[in-house]
Structure 1
Amino acid sequence: MDNRRRNIIRALAIAPFLLGMRKLMASPKIVAKAKDRLQYSVNAYSFNSLLRNGEMTFFDMMEFAASIGLDSVDLTGYYFSSYPEPPLNSELFQLKHKALKLGLNIAWTGIRNDFVNPDAESRKADSAMISRWLDVSSSLGATILRVFTGKHNYDGFSKNEVKEWLVAEYKTCAKYGEEKGVIVALQNHNEFLFTSDEIIDIIKRVDSEWFGLILDIGSLHAENPYDEIEKLAPYANYWFIKEHVYPNGIKTPVNMKKIANIVKNQGYQGYISFESLSDGDPKEIIASMFNSFKAEYEKL
């Protein structure tokens, strides 16, 4: 049999398979599922008192997250006993090992910094601390390190001057984040930048794909926080969903339907993390928030 005839027979043999694959790839159901890739996490601050008094560990938190069907955990830096110094790699690798056994990711860690401080040396020290914790994030396999603005008294300086400090430090951090493969993400925390426009301005001025936003829905105290959330949504690399929002600064239960709509309409594909700040059993509150959001999202 010559090569030409052999090639024709081979092509005829695989034609039904190729046709079936084309139909499968064109299936609307397959395409729809591919578009809905939200992952769910829990922030360690939800268990603040339990983690601080020793009633709970990160390992316990992971067990809880896996038990209710979450995909990941946020391991906040200041619950490591060494903080602000980085923990040993042996400790980090035990956490990674536990996460693997439970089928979880470690998506996030975060530290406290204050770039509003007028003292340049203090800002430089905080920037160096962020670099060390970017190493920690990389060792954990976390893709995001949370940072703040800070809320130091800056008497004698204008707000625009302070914003220049922020941009300069964030650029330095983002550059190192790029080297480590970790996004440095600002959590809007109602400390120095209070509106969506101010936050977006800083993100644009830093101008790095390695600097982004953790959208904290509970830290926007405008007349209509949902409008502010919607404006920030295109910039979000990560979401913190809390049980309350603050229209005009007034504590109000979150409308999960509105949040789910904003997330869905934006086409967001990353992590949604739940954080409880309320009294009561944090496990019950987190499980309820998770189920409530998922129920609303899946209706859309």
Structure 2
Amino acid sequence: MGHQVRRRTFLSVLAGVPLAASATPKPDAGQANHLPPGTQRLKSSLNAYSFNKPLMDGTMTIDDLLDFCATTGFDAVDITGYYFKGYPQVPADDYLFHVKRKAFSVGMEISGTGVRNDFTIADKDKRQQEVALVKKWVVAAAKLGAPVLRIFAGTQKNENYSKAQVTEWMLKDIETCVAFAREHGVIIGLQNHNDFIQTADEVNKIIESINSAWFGLILDTGSYRVHDPYDEIGKSVKHAVNWQIKEKIFVKGAEVETDIPRVMAIIKASAYNGYLPIETLGEGDPKVKVAALLGKLKRAMRE
């Protein structure tokens, strides 16, 4: 889809015109998840941010994380890029391949990785640096064997620009990254992160405007805070390519425990197949908290 067509598509969607009336699907558009609801192949995973403090201060290594995940009963792990020393630079191949071999040796899969990027920056040259960062980590993800690279929309306020203007340049940058990622067999996953993107409608408009099987949603259950989060999850699950299932969720502005069986019911009623990374935050021993949340997830997966 050309830039001008994409622009007209997005602006028409903002105006309430159905996407199907304004866009022609690409040959590879849409999820490739076609198993009947309730028969999906679902796997547990851990988002490494659950161990952010020990990973950042060096008291836990990526090898330690892989050992923990294996002994605790996870199928996979999502290792965000900034837990590799030297980030935002990509580690040498020797270390990437060490991590890949280590994961294999303990029976773990790598469900994804991610970067900190911001495509809402008004300065075009600075945004190009963000695009370059994503591209570098696309290559790293391919070498790790991670099927999905997680990105963000951004956090800039941009008071001199409308949301539609910011979205227009953001779409162009994302499309550039998706085209590059496709060449390397990596899916770009945009996380709803309660910043520039806050609602399921916004998620759906952006993903459907890009319109590629190599682009989807990292569905962050804890970051839908404007409307009912379970309704929002249900509205956007069709675009999920990976998850962050968090122990807490926001209902009417209050942080409460996530109803894991309710989230799982939404997943099982969808066409989603693949990994279900969990993430714990806040105070407490992360090993204890992670094991407890994994237990809830596995019970819900069995039911």
Tell me the distance in 2 between the aligned counterparts of 1:257 and 1:184: 28
Residue identity in the other structure for 1:187: Q
How far off is 1:269 after superposition? 1.5
In the alignment, which residue of structure 2 is the partner of 1:185?
189
In the alignment, which residue of structure 1 is the partner of 2:30?
none
Bigger radius of gyration among the two: 1
1:115–1:126 CA contact under 8 A, matched in 2: yes
What is the RMSD of the two structures over their aligned residues, measured on CA atoms? 1.4
Q: Answer yes or no: is 1:43 the counterpart of 2:72.
A: no
* 1:295 aligned residue (284, 299, 303): 299
Residue identity in the other structure for 2:131: S
1:39–1:271 CA contact under 8 A, matched in 2: yes
Tell me the distance in 1 between the aligned counterparts of 2:287 and 2:106: 18
Residue identity in the other structure for 1:107: S
How far off is 1:148 after superposition? 0.2
What aligned pairs does 1:84-163 form with structure 2 within 5 A after superposition? 84-163=88-167
How far off is 1:226 after superposition? 0.3
In the alignment, which residue of structure 2 is the partner of 1:243?
247
Gaps of 5+ in 1: 1-30
Q: How many residue pairs are counted as aligned between the two chains?
A: 268
What aligned pairs does 1:1-300 form with structure 2 within 5 A after superposition? 35-299=39-303
2:243–2:276 CA contact under 8 A, matched in 1: yes
Gaps of 5+ in 2: 1-34
Corresponding residue SS for 2:53? helix
Q: RCO greater where, 1 or 2, for CA within 8 Å and sep 6 or more?
A: 2
Tell me the distance in 1 between the aligned counterparts of 2:271 and 2:135: 31
Tell me the distance in 1 between the aligned counterparts of 2:219 and 2:249: 13
Tell me the distance in 2 between the aligned counterparts of 1:185 and 1:239: 9
TM-score by length of 2: 0.86
Corresponding residue SS for 1:263? helix
Residue identity in the other structure for 1:167: L
How far off is 1:118 after superposition? 0.4
1:85-123: CA deviation from partner (whole Å, max 9, x where unpaired): 111000001101101111111121100011111001111
1:222–1:228 CA contact under 8 A, matched in 2: no
In the alignment, which residue of structure 2 is the partner of 1:15?
none
Tell me the distance in 2 between the aligned counterparts of 1:57 and 1:297: 29
2:118–2:127 CA contact under 8 A, matched in 1: yes
Higher fraction of helix: 1
Residue identity in the other structure for 2:105: K
Tell me the distance in 2 between the aligned counterparts of 1:108 and 1:297: 20
Corresponding residue SS for 2:268? helix
Tell me the distance in 2 between the aligned counterparts of 1:257 and 1:104: 25
Tell me the distance in 1 between the aligned counterparts of 2:186 and 2:215: 9
How far off is 1:223 after superposition? 3.6
How far off is 1:222 after superposition? 2.7
In the alignment, which residue of structure 2 is the partner of 1:16?
none
Tell me the distance in 2 between the aligned counterparts of 1:260 and 1:241: 10
Corresponding residue SS for 1:246? strand
How far off is 1:79 after superposition? 1.2
Tell me the distance in 2 between the aligned counterparts of 1:291 and 1:202: 34
Q: Which moved more, 1:79-88 or 1:167-176?
A: 79-88
Q: Percent identity?
A: 41
Corresponding residue SS for 1:107? strand
1:171–1:208 CA contact under 8 A, matched in 2: no
2:199–2:227 CA contact under 8 A, matched in 1: no
